[in-house]
Structure 1
Amino acid sequence: MEFTRNLSDNMNYLNKKLDVDVNFDLVYRTFHIADKEACLYYVEGFTKSDVWQKLMEDFAPITAEDLPANAHDFSKKKLPYSQVGLVADDETMIKMLLAGISCLFIDGYDKCFTLDCRSYPARSVSEPEKDKVLRGSRDGFVETLTFNTALIRRRIRDPKLTVEIMNAGESSHTDIAICYFKGRVDESLLTMIKERIMKLKVDALTMNQESLAECIYPHKWYNPFPKFKYSERPDTAAASLLEGNIIILVDNSPSAMILPSSVFDIIEEADDYYFPPVTGTYLRLSRMIISVLTIYLTPLWLLFMQNPEMIPNWLRFIRLSEEPQVPLIFQLLILEFAIDGLRLAAVNTPSMLTTPLSVIAGIVMGEYSVKSGWFNSETMLYMAFVTVANYSQSSFELGYAFKFIRMILLVLTAFFNVWGFIIGFILSLCAIVFNKTIAGKSYIYPLIPFHVSELKKRFFRGRLPHREK
């Protein structure tokens, strides 16, 4: 519907459309500007009251002779505020109102004045719990989109940094910010991402970034390796932008989606660059080696236990000290599920009970489970290493991808022995090698296609680049 010059008609339509008599947080207030009646619509909790108090003071001295003939002139001459817009239809106005923008109607004008004086509820900008660093900045993304874009702008003060706003969801109309650096971004990938977001046919992005990720990249869901890198650190997002990546920020989500991302991008962390090259290289290589061990350690140990004659003399100490009461494959699989159960319990346990829960879990699942005969001490040792080693990298998605591959390897090794391990090893390689980034490129570049200089950068942390002007 197009707005008319009659304020009463506009108010009657909007009051019925918005159901303002039922919704207590949808507020409208009538007042006068000169001899004209005016009505202000806003959402309680989103509007800065001090801004409107100042505007009311500015409206008071306006006389009938001062009122311009059209809405455009009024917005330029009589609205002393920087973020003012004009809207002519109800659909656009309602979207903006529910996003927190105040909407003003004045009798005699057929346009709605939109004033962006929003004040979103937000928590403090603090260091994220998962993406912690030993050295470096301690700020992190929050659930408010404008705060997140400001954290990136603070680090990159260049007009080539572009932040485009879009929205998705028939009901939610969730704001999505696409950030990129002109001249360094892959233009074809950028165009493809924009087109996919514009063509989204979803009711709401209920799970924020995960909902968006599944919509813009619906293919190969069976491959567990993540297609996106998620980070709650503004410095990581800023560095990725300067490398030519695209950053997607979704309102109500405290993390950034970085794409395209290979497995090497996901394994990298900010600590690699906050320390000197030698230390950064050591941290990076340690993380890569530990990641490989989390996949193959327990399947390889199970293979040796099933074939004791394959154990070299210098590894005789890894043999079981006691005969297992429960088959090793069941011990390992039970512990895999039990560890996830403990993790879920820790997430849902009140902080005051975290310590007692840890003590109970350590005693019951550690000591008593071995004494009861359910588990061998060696099984507990290797699973404890795998559990702790999973936290050596910050990506939950990559950690669970390693877990699924490890469990497939365990099952194949238990049923088909040596050939099962070989088949599982080949499957794990295929899952990585034949995976593609969202840009359609190799997931393990620069290994495939092979690129020597880029490969060195992935494994060895060199000096930070200095771009010449």
Structure 2
Amino acid sequence: MPDRKDTIMKFSQDLQETIKYLNNELHTDRNFDVVYRVLTIGGRRACLYFIDGFTKDDSILKILQGLSSIKSDAMPEDAHSFSKQYLPYGEIGLIRDSEDMILQLLSGVSCLFIDGYDTCLTIDCRTYPARGVSEPEKDKVMRGSRDGFVETLVFNTALIRRRIRDPKLSIEIMTAGESSHTDIAICYMENRVDQTLLKTIKKRIRGLEVDALTMNQESLAECLFPYKWFNPFPKFKFSERPDTSAASLLEGNIVILVDTSPSAMILPSSVFDIIEEADDYYFPPITGTYLRLTRMTISALSLFLTPTWLMFMQNPELIPDWLAFIQLSDPYNVPLIWQLLILEFAIDGLRLAAVNTPSMLTTPLSVIAGIVLGEYAVKSGWFNSETMLYMAFVTIANYSQASFELGYAMKFMRVIILILTAAFNLWGYAAGIIFTLCAIAFNRTIAGKSYIYPLIPFHWNELCKRFFRGRLPHKEKG
């Protein structure tokens, strides 16, 4: 089978030859959405190719009406002059080889060929099926903007441009994937970005050898940072909010947008960046600080609560008098470690069921799950009420921060600490905590810097900013 590059050809002035070649390459006989129309422009035969569903019909109609009125004696000698005189539409291009033209066509750009011209005229009047820029379901805020990214790349870049009206904001377009040719937009502020990191990111994207970014941003993330896959703590921050992305750009970060993905990938990102949320800044400093500290505390409790409780249950002599109430009120039939592990997996099972349940059945499912995993589960003897209480808190605490990746990383570490505690008691509990802290401390961002900066290396002023939300910087005129 010949290589794709071997089939590249330069267009000739013979329109019939061009149509025959393109119809064979695009398989117009069986692809119903690849449409071509033969027409007459200025006494010459012409052919317009476009993808049905990607083209604004009104724009094409107006352009064709204008072209049909051209007289034969007014036809220019070359395609460049023709585009200047008779194509008033703003986004016009000239392409001379077939590979670029086919890629543009399959991206939604209309392509016009005229007999006697060896150049394809591209007319960018495409439109993509898109939903409204409504507030994302996951990254909701109590106060602030209610718009969110969608699956159309140009809409997402416009949402960022709307917030940063600065010529130093650069948005470069690249492609990846031999078959998909997925568009990737790299956004950064020229005067604030780490130029070394920017060059590294561009080099890695250009060097990608993949057939397609089937899982869009996740596929790209795994290609950009293929190392330390065994460490579950996220290397990137994902956000569906354009205001969060704009703020990250102004802080000197790089934002990567992938076509068909409704979220932005922000890098480099430390654990403190991932924990931050937009609500921290949509409220006054004292309220934002309270929300941030509450989120950090709850995240820490979700990691250590059940392992610490299990450790105390295995060593009741270590329980202080003021915590005597945490002891089991009833005897247990199933070992505590198995109760906790079963509930860990049962909660994930319910989460998966909720995702795949039709919306009209979500309420009945929630009621049934609450009854089965609540009162009946305790009465049956499988679980103790204390176990159910602590796991309920952990489940709710997992939703106190927006990052799914960080939530699952905490879950994996919690399960490891539970297993080590059950197997080796106090030594296992200590080993699990040390292992978790090492997984966080020895993690690295994509820039190769510390994952827990400004804690390591220590920087007091920056550390205070991570924990306490201060006043936003401002400049006074005059």
- The normalised TM-score by structure 2 is 0.97
Find the partner of 1:108 among 97, 112, 116: 116
Asked if 1:123 corresponds to 2:136, the answer is no
Q: Partner of 2:132: helix, strand, or coil?
A: coil
- The alignment yields a C-alpha RMSD, in angstroms, of 0.7
Partner of 1:434: 442
**In 2, Cα distance between the equivalents of 1:334 and 1:465?**
49
Residue 266 (structure 2) pairs with residue 279 (structure 1): no
Deviation at 1:57? Answer: 1.8
Letter in 1 for 2:110: S
Residues of 2 paired with 1:26 and 1:105: CA distance? 15
Aligned to 1:234: 242
Equivalent position of 1:453 in the other structure? 461
Runs (5+) with no aligned partner, structure 2: 1-8
1: CA distance, partners of 2:452 / 2:475? 26
The equivalences for 1:81-100 within 5 A come to: 81-100=89-108
1:67-116 Cα deviation digits (max 9, x unpaired)? 11111111111211110000001100000100000000000000000111
Alpha-carbon separation, structure 2, partners of 1:67 and 1:350: 59
Q: Deviations over 1:365-409 (max 9, x none)?
A: 111010000000000000000000000000000000000000000
Mapped partners of 1:255, 1:383: distance in 2: 30
Counterpart in the other structure of 2:410 = 402
User: Aligned partner of 2:408: which letter?
Assistant: Y
CA distance in 2, matches of 1:61, 1:324: 88
Aligned to 1:16: 24
Q: Does 1:266 align with 2:274?
A: yes
Amino acid of the structure 1 residue aligned with 2:356: N
One-letter amino acid matched to 2:376: Y
What letter is aligned with 1:187?
Answer: Q
Q: Structure 1, unaligned stretches of length 5 or more? A: none
Q: 1:119 to 1:260 in 2, by over 3 A?
A: same
Q: 1:196 and 2:204 equivalent?
A: yes
**Aligned partner of 1:311: which letter?**
I
- The aligned runs of 1:53-202 (5 Å cut-off) are 53-202=61-210
For residues 70 and 264 of structure 1, the distance between their equivalents in structure 2, rounded to whole angstroms, comes to 58
Matches within 5 A, 1:335-414: 335-414=343-422
Distance 2:377 2:452 in 1: 41
Deviation readout 1:116-165 (Å, 9 max, x if unpaired): 10010000110000000000010000000000000000000010000000
> What's the CA shift for 1:52?
1.2
CA-to-aligned-CA distance 1:144-196 (integer Å, 9 cap, x gap)? 00000000000000100000000100000000000001100000000000000
Report how far residue 60 of structure 1 moved. Answer: 2.4
State yes or no: 1:464 paired with 2:472.
yes
SS at match of 1:238: helix
Distance 1:435 1:56 in 2: 58
Q: Deviations over 1:216-263 (max 9, x none)?
A: 100000000000000000000000000000000000000000000000
Q: 1:228 to 1:467 in 2, by over 3 A?
A: farther
Note the alpha carbon deviations across 1:298-326, whole angstroms, 9 max, x for none: 00000000000000000000000011100
The AA in structure 1 aligned to 2:409 is A
| Aligned residue number for residue 5 of structure 2 | none
Corresponding letter in the other structure for 1:47:
T
Please, which of 24, 39, 43 is the counterpart of residue 47 of structure 2? 39
Which amino acid is the alignment partner of residue 395 of structure 1?
Answer: S
Deviation at 1:435, TM superposition (A): 0.3
Within 2, Cα distance between the matches of 1:374 and 1:60?
A: 79
Length-normalised TM-score, structure 1: 0.99
Report the AA paired with residue 94 of structure 2.
Answer: L
The amino acid that maps onto 1:385 is F
For residue 197 of structure 1, give the secondary structure of its aligned residue in structure 2: helix
CA change 1:467–1:260 in 2 (3 A) is farther
Aligned residue in 1 for 2:315: 307
Of the three residues 308, 321, 334, the one matched with 1:326 is 334
Identify which of 284, 291, 304 aligns with 1:296: 304
How far apart are 1:338 and its partner, in Å?
A: 0.2
Q: How many residues were matched structurally?
A: 469
Summarize deviations over 1:33-86 as a string: whole Å, max 9, x none: 011100000000000111111111211221122111111111111211110000
What is the CA-CA distance between 1:453 and the residue it aligns to?
0.6
Deviations 1:18-41 (A, max 9, x none): 000100000000100011100000
Query: Partner amino acid for 1:86?
Result: L
Q: CA deviation at 1:468?
A: 6.9
Instruction: Quote the offset at 1:345 in angstroms.
Output: 0.2
- Looking at structure 1, the residues matched to 475 and 298 of structure 2 have their Cα atoms a distance apart, in angstroms, of 33
Percent identity over paired residues: 73
